[in-house]
């Protein structure tokens, strides 16, 4: 263990270090999964009797400090995105990740930041 490595007390592991994205140093990463919902109402009894969860999606929101204009920082809406920090599961384990929107921000006295929102659907590769 190097002197700068995290020290874990009474823990078997913890994940808080993220791999740099191509073209940027990651500042925040979020992945949220959801599904569309159809509620089944039974008029003969006067209440809901079932639910159908369908059309799973994983939504990503990633922000980096730019180190290049290539890789992650070259993302564009509608284009497939490759993430170094991609995770799978929670109902969405397959499918391509496609850029929804991008944002480039640079305020005085600060570093330039690039943000991407993207989504992943199992049926779209």
What's the Rg (C-alpha) of the chain?
20
pLDDT along the chain (125 residues), means of 10: 78 77 92 97 98 97 93 94 88 95 95 96 94
pTM for the whole structure: 0.83
Confidence (pLDDT) at 1 = 63
> How do the domains of the chain map onto residue ranges?
24-120
**Could you please report the per-residue DSSP string of the chain?**
--TTS---SS-S------PPBTTEEEEEEEEEEEEEEEEEEETTTTEEEEEEEEEEEEEEEEEEEES-SSGGGG--TTSB---TT---BTTB-SS-EEEEEEEEE--TTS--EEEEEEEE-TT--
């Amino acid at each position: 263990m190097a002197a700068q490595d995290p020290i874990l007390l009474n823990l078997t592991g913890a994940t808080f270090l993220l791999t740099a994205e191509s073209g940027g140093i990651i500042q925040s990463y979020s992945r949220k999964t959801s599904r569309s919902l159809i509620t089944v109402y039974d008029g003969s009894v006067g209440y809901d009797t079932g639910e159908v969860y369908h059309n799973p999606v994983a939504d990503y929101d990633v922000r980096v400090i730019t180190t290049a204009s290539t890789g992650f920082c070259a993302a564009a809406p509608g284009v497939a995105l490759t993430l170094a920090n991609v995770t799978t599961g929670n109902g969405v384990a397959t499918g391509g990740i496609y850029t929804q929107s991008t944002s480039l921000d640079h305020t005085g006295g600060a570093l330039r930041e690039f943000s991407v929102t993207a989504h992943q659907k199992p049926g779209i590769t």
